[in-house]
């Protein structure tokens, strides 16, 4: 086994032949597919081809008047004579997605039903301004986002709200979570198995030694980890596109994540998130192998990565600027709609960079650091038993 390629192929086969690898990959892929299909089966998501007639039009007073004709609020009268809206009746299903969207933006059905173009513009501005105030942005950051808002068209151009691009972007964070679970299960034993099975002394005494073997192990683990990430990602976007189709890629991301100054086409957001997801898969793979080498215990690796998941759910106040901003980069829950409303930036080389621009670079830097630490630790490791 003098050849690095032969060692690499052997390590890949060794990981893939573990029973936990097949169980984790198949179970999590099926879970991802079931989650997507379940949302449509339960009616949480719908496929509405009728809305295509609105695509490309401005969401102005004329369209909002048409919506009021197409839907009809259902009210009930309370004992004191007051009327409360409890739902809507739909005369024209083409306007149903718009009504649902305005209900989310406005907060209730009454506000959505009576909303005007000016109300919508004002609501967008107030939502964004409230978030910006909470995040305590610097003067340079405020200037940056004000210039961005000035470039945003108003009124909105209606895009196809029911589409696979948006559905995939909105659920991509689940892919990151499932990918982390799969990688933790399959790569936790890459280095720890040697210690637990007491084969490390035999391996280290071979003429290939540690240096070439650790490279082969790292490359093999990255290969399998990226494969798992890609398969879970394909299970997610594949079912979404199969159900909702490929139309609507030009739709504004604001129809899916709400008002934001970080506006772009939903197809652009999809490709950005897909690229970041693959980088996260790379980082998670190296992180799992680093823990495997440091702890030399598979259970400890899995437990540590689950703790990372729990930590990522913490939400420090924005006033803790450094800690809060650092937590926003935690990869497990990074790929959510909330990221498009994180206006805190990184000032570097005289320029301001958004969270979407800096996150993949940060992940790659940490990947390189963890990979280097794993290699150094493995080469210095001494058998004690």
Q: Are strands 346-348 and 83-90 parallel, antiparallel or unpaired?
A: unpaired
Q: Which of 339, 344, 338 is nearest to 132 (CA)?
A: 344
At residue 85 the predicted structure's pLDDT band, cuts being 50, 70 and 90, is: low
Q: Which helix or strand (DSSP H or E) is residue 74 part of?
A: strand 71-77
Residue 108: φ, ψ to 5°: -155, 170
Alpha-carbon distance of 95 to 226, in angstroms, equals: 41
Tokens 């159900």 belong to which residue? Answer: 243
- pLDDT (tens digit, 9 = 90+) per residue, 157-189? 998 888 889 989 999 999 999 999 999 999 988
- pLDDT (tens digit, 9 = 90+) per residue, 115-133? 999 999 999 989 999 999 9
pLDDT at 42 over 70: no
Q: Which of 187, 184, 221, 212 is nearest to 11 (CA)?
A: 221
Alpha-carbon distance of 189 to 360, in angstroms, equals: 27
pLDDT at 378 over 60: yes
pLDDT at 247 over 70: yes
CB 45 within 8 A of CB 167: yes
More confident residue, 223 or 318: 223
Q: What is the pLDDT of residue 162?
A: 81
pLDDT at 190 over 60: yes
CB-neighbour burial class of residue 367 (10 A; exposed 0-12, middle 13-18, buried 19+): buried
What is the arithmetic mean of pLDDT over 43-72? 84
pTM of the entire predicted model? 0.88
At residue 209 the predicted structure's pLDDT band, cuts being 50, 70 and 90, is: low
What is the arithmetic mean of pLDDT over 319-344? 92
Beta-carbon count within 10 A of 255 CB: 22
User: Hey, where are the domains in the chain?
Assistant: 4-42+162-380, 49-151
pLDDT at 230 over 80: yes
Among residues of the chain, what percentage have pLDDT more than 90?
A: 50
Q: What is the pLDDT of residue 197?
A: 57
Q: Which of 114, 111, 58, 100 is nearest to 252 (CA)?
A: 58
What is the arithmetic mean of pLDDT over 91-117? 86
What's the chain's average pLDDT?
87
Least confidently predicted of 29-38, 88-97, 281-290, 348-357? 88-97
CB 251 within 8 A of CB 163: yes
Alpha-carbon distance of 223 to 232, in angstroms, equals: 14
Q: What is the pLDDT of residue 1?
A: 46
Among residues of the chain, what percentage have pLDDT more than 70?
A: 88
CB-neighbour burial class of residue 224 (10 A; exposed 0-12, middle 13-18, buried 19+): buried
pLDDT at 383 over 60: no
What is the arithmetic mean of pLDDT over 52-62? 90
At residue 214 the predicted structure's pLDDT band, cuts being 50, 70 and 90, is: confident
Q: Which of 19-23, 201-205, 375-379 has the highest mean pLDDT?
A: 19-23
């Amino acid at each position: 086994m003098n050849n690095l390629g032969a060692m690499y192929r052997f390590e890949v086969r060794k990981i893939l032949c573990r029973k936990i690898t097949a169980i984790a990959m198949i179970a999590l892929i099926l879970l991802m597919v079931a989650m997507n299909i379940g949302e449509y089966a339960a009616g949480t998501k719908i496929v509405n081809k009728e809305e295509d007639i609105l695509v490309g039009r401005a969401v102005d007073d004329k369209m909002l008047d048409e919506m009021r004709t197409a839907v009809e609020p259902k009210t009930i009268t309370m004992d004191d004579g007051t009327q409360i809206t409890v739902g809507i009746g739909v005369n024209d299903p083409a306007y149903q997605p718009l009504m649902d969207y305005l209900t989310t933006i406005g907060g209730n059905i009454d506000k959505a039903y009576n909303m005007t173009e000016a109300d919508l513009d004002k609501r967008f501005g107030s939502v964004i301004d409230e978030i910006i105030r909470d995040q305590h942005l610097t003067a340079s950051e405020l200037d940056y986002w004000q210039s961005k808002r000035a470039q945003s068209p108003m009124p909105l151009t209606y895009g196809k709200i029911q589409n696979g691009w948006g559905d995939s972007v909105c659920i991509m964070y689940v892919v990151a979570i499932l990918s982390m679970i799969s990688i933790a299960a399959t790569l936790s034993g890459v280095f720890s198995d040697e210690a637990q099975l007491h084969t490390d002394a035999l391996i280290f005494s071979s003429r290939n030694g540690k240096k070439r073997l650790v490279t082969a192990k790292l490359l093999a683990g990255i290969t399998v980890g990226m494969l798992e990430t890609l398969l879970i990602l394909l299970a997610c976007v594949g079912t979404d596109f199969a159900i909702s189709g490929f139309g609507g890629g030009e739709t504004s991301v604001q129809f899916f994540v709400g008002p934001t100054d970080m506006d772009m086409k939903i197809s652009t957001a999809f490709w950005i998130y897909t690229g970041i997801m693959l980088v996260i898969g790379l980082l998670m793979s190296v992180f799992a192998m680093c823990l495997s080498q440091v702890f030399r215990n598979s259970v400890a690796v899995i437990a540590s990565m689950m703790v990372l998941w729990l930590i990522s759910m913490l939400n420090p106040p924005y006033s803790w600027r450094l800690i809060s901003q650092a937590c926003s980069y935690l990869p497990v829950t990074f790929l959510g709609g909330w990221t498009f409303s994180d206006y805190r930036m990184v000032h570097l080389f005289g320029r301001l960079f958004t969270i979407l621009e800096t996150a993949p670079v940060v992940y790659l830097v940490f990947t390189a650091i963890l990979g280097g630490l794993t290699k150094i630790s493995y080469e210095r490791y001494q058998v004690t038993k």
